[in-house]
Structure 1
Amino acid sequence: MGTAGQLIVRRYRLLRALGQGRTGLVWEGHDTLLDRPVAIREVLLPPNLSETARLRLVQRISREARQAERLHHPHIAAVYDVGEEGDTPFVVTELVPSRSLDGVVSGDGPLPPAEAARITRTVLSALTHAHAAGVRHGDVRPANVLLAHDGRVLLADFGMTVPATDPAFTRDPVPGGPPAGRGTETYLAPERAAGGPRTAAADLWSLGATLHLAVTGTPPPGQGPLEEVPGELRAVLTGLLAREPRRRIDAETADRLLAEIEPPSPPPPVRRGLSRARLVTGIAAAVLVACAVGGWAVGGWAGLRPGGENRAGAGAVASLTASAPASPLASSSATPSGSASGQPARRLKLKWHTSDAGWRAGVPRGWTREDLPYSTSWRSLDGGAAFTVEVTGQRGTDPLAALGEAEEILRPDARTYRKLRLRAVTGEHGPSADWEFTWTPRRASARDHLAKGVEYHQYRRVISTGTTTSVLTWTAPAADWDTLRPTLVRVLSLFQPPSLGATPSPA
């Protein structure tokens, strides 16, 4: 069994164990060659295997993982590599800060039909892509549907069918993991449970079983009517869960039925008429345009440049902001560059934090740091305000689409939600998007330090580079927003994703 700090195949370092199941351990790891975070599955082979049986299993695991490496889709958790250290196989995949679908249902209850349809249709798009490439998943279940913290929905564990379903693992569960007979078997199509091969139709049955749990909280019954299923989902679930593969609906039919239930996508943000030439006429002009469109300079171009406030002139930024029409996008008061009292708000002093993963941020001095498995947060002394950074090795993220999905996930858990902005912005690090909103949580959350009945104000930025996705989140009680806003402007302008060179002083 691996240990924290161990280097696997001279490249991947094990950092901390994230969980243990019947087939082994999942580690948070670091790719020392590409300098990026990864997830590493240590496949613990059943004891007492003959050498021939062990070689057979290792070869099958390696072959399936190599097939999964070919898949590149925005809703598939990428498989990066597979290798052996000693006699143990390791499968290296994308690290996705997320909650699994079964965890969400277990903790928060069944999903509304429209939300469940949206998630299922997204997973279906991933399966359709894999099937077209000749790859079958073989282990579609709620534990492998990930609702990422940045709003994405991903299907994970491609290439892991062997340890998930091989009889050797069923007979000899890993000590400390879940007992055999739970989990995977519940979501296997009837023909697969009877020993049949992996097929696209079998994956679709498993997807239907996953949807059943999402909307009812329980797996589908072995036989009989789907009495607990909401009426609008009964047709698609009846079609997906047909016991005979030839009677099962295909992916195209399932997608059409789910599309009828899924809520319509919000219209794309209106990009007001500015030509490319006008955007390069200078920093001051860019700030003025940003104020006219959004009411807040950081929503445009100047605030995205490290030190942009200094180069444009702090006085110029304040003057231009004050001259723009008052906008709820910038502040809850009529003085967007000041506090609620009308006095200029003072920016908090900042200090540098450089992550082991290579990103760098200017953060408020005196705030308490919290290192979580997938993120780093700084919290004010009174616990009300927080700044959180999450950086993953996800490539090709569409920032605006990711935030749009995150908004749909937030809505059921919020009341008095008010969107202030959700739009793409131009940044020097790569495609970016900003989402600003106020909301009142329906319930208190000790984990997130949210109090019931308190209105909060949040600004979230997603930055997509060629190798990483960064999510910056600033949250504060709405009553404190104006006071903290100048600090937020500076913090966002200073952030540097991994491997982008030096940055200016945060002071």
Structure 2
Amino acid sequence: MGTAGQLIVRRYRLVRALGHGRSGLVWEGRDTLLDRPVAIREVLLPPNLSESARLRLAQRISREARQAERLRHPHIAAVYDVADEDGALYVVTELVPSRSLDGVVSGDGPLPPAEAARIARTVLSALTHAHAAGVRHGDVRPANVLLAHDGRVVLADFGVSVPGSPGSSADSSGRDAEAYLAPERAAGGPPTVAADLWSLGATLHTAVTGRPPVMQGPSGQGQPVLQAEDVPGELRAVLAGLLAREPRRRIDAETADRLLAEIEPPAPPRPVRRGRARLVTGIAVAVLVACAVGGWAVGGWAGLRPGKATPAPTSLSPLESPSLSPSLSPSLSPSVSVSASGQPARRLKLKWHTSDAGWRAGVPRGWIREDGPYSISWRSRDGGAVFTVEVTAQQGTDPLAALGEAEEILRPEAKTYRKLRLRSVNGEHGPSADWEFTWTPRKASARDHLAKGVEYHQYRRVISTATATSVLTWTTSAADWDTLRPTLARVLALFQPPPATPSPSAA
């Protein structure tokens, strides 16, 4: 075992032991090269292994930790490095000042259903991001869910799952860590997406009841029993779906996210800074934001001087098409989308549009282009769907705060409003946030093709780079959402904001 003060691979200093968990000893450490605090997990391999078995296991852990290094998500404790020192394996990660969910439940008691749903939904977003990148966690449990002092919820210990490790077999409250393994994992199966979702369900169960689900039947083969007197009624559906014994019968991430969103408490109202809340077009805020198609209600757009955009008539080449961004919401997964007829929905053909201002977008072929003073939109020929791009030279935008302000302005102007998500995402171009919601406008708008009494569905993404802020808005009727969702996923993945150095026409 390591000792305080020890220098690992001439770079990482062990400062003090923080805890002894299932997969090893956790140290507070210091990266002496970058002069920053880190967490260092000294991985303890199971005893009584042959040398060849130990080597294979160490290689597997090192490989999985290396895979986890590429994960960058606001709710994942980043993996920085894997180090081997004198035959011992160390995984270096982000140090998150926090309390574990396990410690909170042990010390303060079970959480209210809405708060537990918020935490579970945040962890689900981290898992969805990892799964899209081909990374499985393998050890989701309350001890690895960190409630950071800065308010974040962070999922830790990616890449360090060690079966049968000699570390403590129980978490800090004495609960058996094996209780959070899916039945197929307890029976010796590999980490899978479905197994991670089962473990999330068990973690949620503990958050609201104070204990993991009780398994009925032989060890590793039983069915979890949800005690009606313990499990809050509003969580029974999502828990039953996540904790199904058969992996093929478990609900997927999209369904779990939807069920949790119905329970998650609304975000606290954000004060609207009226001095900044002005529209880019100069039209009254309430009118344009109520339409929720063109324009958005966060100001500071004075620096925008959009160039005249020119369409690119050629189709997207497979060689030009970037892969689907892992930061997309699970609700946008094209693989599960079906049309109203029950048939799989097909993605529309796209073409490139390159703006003189430097940004580039894949837009549906055949849609009608509409140029506004500060935005460009493409509308379906039946008028029922529209994709809008607004790009400004504003720097330093907080995407989540901007969308929060827009939400506060929209609410009074909508007859019905249902928030599906409003959160930061791990954008490849810079700080980003997504806002998805449904609403029914109070008034019809011929200009924006909105009908009174019709429910609409919108997805809005804000991307902040060093030189610009981009707003992508996709709106359809609620009835057409599933049909067009695969196209939306592709459009969001293809968008490229202006380059770091502004083009002459954008100056």
Letter in 2 for 1:224: V
Q: Deviations for 1:254-289, whole angstroms, at most 9, x for unmatched residues?
A: 11111111111123331231699xxxxxxxxxxxxx
Structure 2 contact 82–90 (Cα < 8 Å) conserved: yes
What aligned pairs does 1:410-489 form with structure 2 within 5 A after superposition? Answer: none
**1:88–1:398 Cα change, 3 Å:** farther
The whole-number CA distance in structure 2 between the counterparts of 1:27 and 1:399 is 34
Aligned letter for 2:39?
Answer: A
Change (3 A) 1:81 1:183: farther
Find the counterpart in structure 1 of residue 191 from structure 2.
198
What's the counterpart of residue 214 of structure 1?
207
Q: Cα 1:15–1:50, aligned 2, differ >3 Å: closer, same or farther?
A: same
CA distance in 1, matches of 2:397, 2:277: 26
Would the alpha carbon gap of residues 258 and 202 (structure 1) be closer, same or farther in structure 2, given more than 3 Å must change?
same
C-alpha distance in 2, partners of 1:159/1:270? 42
Partner of 1:268: 270
Q: Is the 2:170–2:177 contact (alpha carbons within 8 Å) kept by the matching residues of 1?
A: no
Counterparts in 2 of 1:397-416, with a 5 A limit? none
The equivalent residue for 1:230 is 232
Deviation at 1:246, TM superposition (A): 1.3
Q: CA, structure 1 residues 398+30, in 2 after alignment: closer, same or farther (shift >3 Å)?
A: farther
Change (3 A) 1:137 1:186: same
Instruction: Report SS of the residue matched to 1:261.
Output: coil
Aligned to 2:63: 63
1:22-45 Cα distance to aligned partner (Å, 9 max, x none): 432111000011111000011123
> Counterpart of 2:247?
245
Cα deviation, residue 117, structure 1: 0.5
Name 1:92's counterpart in structure 2.
92
Q: Structure 1, unaligned stretches of length 5 or more?
A: 277-395, 405-430, 432-465, 467-507
Name the residue aligned to 2:145.
145
Change (3 A) 1:268 1:195: same
Mapped to 2, the partners of 1:144 and 1:252 lie a distance apart of: 22
Report the Cα distance in structure 1 between the residues aligned to 2:240 and 2:103, rounded to whole angstroms. Answer: 25
**1:13 and 1:30 in contact (8 A); partners too:** yes
With the length of structure 2 as denominator, give the TM-score of the two structures. Answer: 0.51
Q: Deviations over 1:68-100 (max 9, x none)?
A: 001100000100000101010000000000000
Rate the CA distance shift 1:142–1:179 in 2: closer, same or farther, 3 A. Answer: closer
Q: Secondary structure, in 3 states, of the residue corresponding to 2:267?
A: coil
Offset, 1:221 = 1.4
Aligned partners of 1:218, 1:118: CA distance in 2, in Å?
Answer: 18
Q: Does the C-alpha gap of structure 1 residues 210 and 398 become closer, same or farther in structure 2, counting only changes over 3 Å?
A: farther
Asked if structure 2 preserves the Cα contact closer than 8 Å seen for 1:79 and 1:158, the reply is: yes
Question: Equivalent residues in 2 for 1:49-448 (5 A)?
Answer: 49-161=49-161, 163=162, 165=163, 167=164, 169=165, 173-174=166-167, 177-178=168-169, 183-222=176-215, 223-227=224-228, 228-273=230-275
Question: Does the Cα contact within 8 Å between 1:120 and 1:211 map onto a contact in 2?
Answer: yes
Change (3 A) 1:218 1:73: same
Give the conservation status (yes or no) of the 8 Å contact 2:137–2:159. yes
What per-residue deviation string (whole Å, max 9, x for no partner) do you get for residues 401-421 of structure 1?
7xx9xxxxxxxxxxxxxxxxx
Would you say the 8 A contact 1:38–1:92 is kept in 2?
A: yes
Q: Distance in 2 between matches of 1:397 and 1:221?
A: 47
- Deviation larger for 38-47 or 122-131: 38-47
- Which whole-Å CA distance do the structure 2 matches of 1:62 and 1:160 have between them? 8
Matched position secondary structure for 2:262: helix
Count of aligned pairs between the two proteins: 276
3-state SS of paired residue (2:201): helix
CA distance in 1, matches of 2:93, 2:104: 22
Cα 1:114–1:53 shift into 2, 3 Å: same
In structure 2, the CA distance between the partners of 1:123 and 1:274, relative to structure 1 (3 Å rule), is closer
How much does 1:397 deviate?
13
Q: 2-side partners of 1:122 and 1:90: how far apart?
A: 27
Question: Cα distance, 1:179 vs. partner?
Answer: 6.4
**Is residue 45–residue 88 contact of structure 1 (8 Å, CA) maintained in 2?**
no
My pick for the range that moved more, 232-241 or 183-192, is 183-192
Question: 1:247: how far off?
Answer: 1.2
Change (3 A) 1:26 1:398: farther
- 1:218-275 deviation digits (Å, cap 9, x = unpaired): 1111133431100111111111111111111111111111111111112333123169
Map Cα deviations across residues 103-129 of structure 1 (whole Å, 9 max, x no partner): 000000000000000000000000010
Give identity over the alignment, percent.
Answer: 83
Higher fraction of helix? 1
